[in-house]
Structure formats: structure tokens, C-alpha cells
Structure 1
Amino acid sequence: MSEKKMNVESFNLDHTKVKAPYIRLAGIVEGANGDVIHKYDLRFCQPNKEHMEMPALHSLEHMMAEFSRNHSDQIVDVSPMGCQTGFYLSLVNHDQYEEVLQLVENTLKDVLEATEVPACNEVQCGWAASHSLEGAKQLARNMLSHRKEWTEVFGEE
């Protein structure tokens, strides 16, 4: 692995040392007008060992993006990772880690109660054929089953 510091925070994270699932603060950026963005790494799958299948990930993205905003007006974005192992959650002017954990828990519980994927149609989605409500629910169930471990980012050495 290169010792050179990369511009992207997650490229500087040793993915062989983390133990998913977890939620960690991945970065803080202060805007020109004083707003502060906190970006969290919501890791659902163990890097380089497992990944989320695209229809389930896609549906979970829709559901988390929609449902998380029912619990907070400080959500900037919920974005899937290209490696298909998790999501980034960005919030403005919010730095309470325990509240973020509760926000994610509440959102995932909403996923389990959902009867449809929000905006799962050709008008509102760019690939409406690629969704799985049951797959999203399974991902949410798995993440919730490890709730007590979300603060443990690194595994045993």
C-alpha cells in the first residue's frame, strides 16, 4: 500500500483493518459561510469479502434517502459507495455521533416497515427496473442485528 496521503479520505483507510458493519465519522468540511458538513461512513459489508447486490443497494439507497429525512432536517445526502459495501451519510451543522446512530437505526426500522420502494418508477428513477424491496429489507435487518457493534470500526489485530 502506498504511504502517500491521498485526497480522498477513504483511500487513506486501511480496508483490511476495519470490521463491518460500523458507522464512523469519515470527514468534516467547513463551508465559507460557517456551515459544517459531517460525512459518515455507514459500512454494511466487509470490504473485499462481501458486497451488496445492486438491486438491493439501489432500493436501500432510495429508502434511506427518503426515510432519513423524516428523522432529521440536517441531511445533505445519502450516497452509495461504488464498491457496494456501504453508504455515505452527510449532515449539515450536526456533530452528535450518538444521534447519528439513532437516526440510522430509525431509518433502517422504517425500511423494514416499508411496503414499496419510494420513487421506484421510470419518471423518478434512472434505472427503475433495478430494485429489490426484499433485498433492501434483508440488508437493513442484517445491519440492525449488529447495532451494538456499530461503534467498533477496527477488528482484532
Structure 2
Amino acid sequence: MAEVESFTLDHNQVIAPYVRVITTEVGKKGDEITNYDLRFAQPNQAEIPTAALHTLEHLLADLLRDRLDGIIDISPFGCRTGFHLIVWGNYPAQEVAQALKETLGQIVEEIQWTDVQGTDAKSCGNYKDHSLFSAKEWAKVVLNQGISTSAFEREII
């Protein structure tokens, strides 16, 4: 069986919220792809409600692309404590954390329901399960706690 990095991480030792590099993989032609852990909630102590997580996923997929080039995907963790961010290349955690902070601030201060893409039956596989209110509340929680560039120490940007 393959060793999956996420399953070797001691989730009892991390201190959310944070951004960390999970891995950078180099392809056969030298292209790099980096996977980041965007952790919003403390593992095994809190989880983001599904509707909030779903709306945050849609918003981050849109708004982070305005701040970071080369985003391939942003996907929620099954445990609902945060997201994978997969990009071409390799950004320092500090740069990703700053982009995330700005994006969460935009969600709290500016975003209205009409700004959320993919909220109808044609463009979303579970379009009824969204909550902008809850997404904004979780964005506030993360911003109030501060985003660290270390999973194990509070190095808040």
C-alpha cells in the first residue's frame, strides 16, 4: 500500500488555522505540482458544516485564482477541517497564507450570494447544500484566530 502523507500527520499535534506544504511532486518532464494543507478547524475538535464548506470551496476556487497563478484544484478534506490546494509550481507557505487571508477578508466584507458561482442544478451536483452566511462566519473565525505558516507553532502572518 502507498503511504499517504496526510495519514502520517499527527492530527493531535497541529494547531489550526494554518497553511503548510504537504508535498511538491516533480513530473517526468520536470514540472512541479505542490499540494497545500489549508487547515481552518482544529482536527478532532471542530469541523466545518457541510453547507459552509461547500460554499467556501466554490468561493476559494474562484477568488484564490485572482491571487495565485497556476491553481489546479481546491478540494475540501473529507474530515471537513480544511482544504487541499493544488498548484503548478511551488509557492512559499507565507505567500499562500497571505492570499488566503486576503480572500477570506473579501468573503467577509464584499461577497454577496450573487457572487457565488456554481449554485444551480446545472453547475453543481448538490446545489441546495450551500450557506454563504456560514461560510462568512467560518472566514471570520479563521481571520480572528490568525493564519499560521506552521502547522505546529503559531507563526501568524
Structure 2-normalised TM-score? Answer: 0.89
Provide the aligned length of Structure 1 versus Structure 2. Answer: 151
Unmatched segments (≥5 aa) in structure 1: none
What's the counterpart of residue 78 of structure 1? 74
Q: 1:91 to 1:24 in 2, by over 3 A?
A: same
Which residue, out of 100, 106, 129, partners 1:110? 106
* CA RMSD after TM alignment: 1.7
SS in 2 for 1:29: strand
What's the counterpart of residue 132 of structure 2? 133
SS in 2 for 1:69: helix
Q: 1:95 to 1:70 in 2, by over 3 A?
A: closer
What's the counterpart of residue 151 of structure 2? 153
Deviation at 1:95, TM superposition (A): 2.7
SS in 1 for 2:56: helix
- Bigger mean CA offset, 61-70 vs 107-116: 107-116
Deviation at 1:6, TM superposition (A): 5.7
1:61-106 Cα offsets, whole Å, 9 max, x none, are 0000011111122111111000001101111113322211111112
Structure 1 segments of 4+ aligned residues over 4 angstroms from their partners:
none
Equivalent residues in 2 for 1:6-155, closer than 5 Å: 7-112=3-108, 113-116=110-113, 117-147=116-146, 149-154=147-152
Unmatched segments (≥5 aa) in structure 2: none
